[in-house]
Amino acid sequence: MEPTCFPAVSRVAVSGGTHGNELTGVYIVREMQKQEVDKVGSVSVTTVLANPRATDACRRYIETDLNRCFTNALLSAPITDSTPYEMRRAQELNAQLGPKGSEKAVDLLIDLHNTTANMGLCLIFDSLDWLTLHIYKYIQSKMTKMPVRAIQLNKPRSDAYCLESVGKHGFAIEVGPQPNGVLRADIYNTVKTAVDLTITWLQEFNSGCTFEGGEVEAYIAAKSVDYPRDPDGKITAVIHPKLQDNDFKLLQPGDPVFLSFSGETVNHEGEELYPFFVNECAYYEKKIAFHLARRETFTLPSIRLRT
- For the chain, the C-alpha Rg in angstroms (whole number) is 20
One-letter amino acid for residue 4 of the chain: T
Residue 290 CA to residue 303 CA, distance in Å, equals 35
Residue 157 backbone phi and psi in degrees, to 5: -50, -45
134 is in an annotated binding site: no
Q: Which stretch binds other proteins (CB under 8 A): 157-165, 166-174, 237-245, 269-277?
A: 237-245
How near is the Cβ of 115 to other proteins at its closest, in Å? 10
185 binds other proteins (CB under 8 A): yes
305 binds other proteins (CB under 8 A): no
CA distances from 118 to 115, 179, 290 (A): 8, 11, 12
Interface pattern 96-125 for other proteins (x via CB under 8 A): --------------------x---------
CA distances from 209 to 126, 246, 304 (A): 26, 38, 6
- What residues between 152 and 171 interact with other proteins by CB under 8 A? none
Q: Identify whether 174 is a catalytic site residue.
A: yes
16 binds other proteins (CB under 8 A): no
- β partners of residue 237: 260
33 binds other proteins (CB under 8 A): no
How near is the Cβ of 240 to other proteins at its closest, in Å? 7
How near is the Cβ of 23 to other proteins at its closest, in Å? 9
DSSP per residue, 197-254: HHHHHHHHHHTTPPBP-EEEEEEEEEEEEPPPB-TTS-B-EEE-TTTTT-TTSPB-TT
Could you tell me how many residues make up the chain?
Answer: 307
Among candidate residues 63, 174, 204, 285, the one labeled active-site is 174
285 is in an annotated binding site: no
User: Hey, which residues are catalytic here?
Assistant: 174
Q: Enumerate binding residues for other proteins (CB under 8 A).
A: 27, 30-31, 34-35, 58, 116, 177-186, 188-189, 234-235, 238-241, 244, 259, 261, 279, 281-282, 284
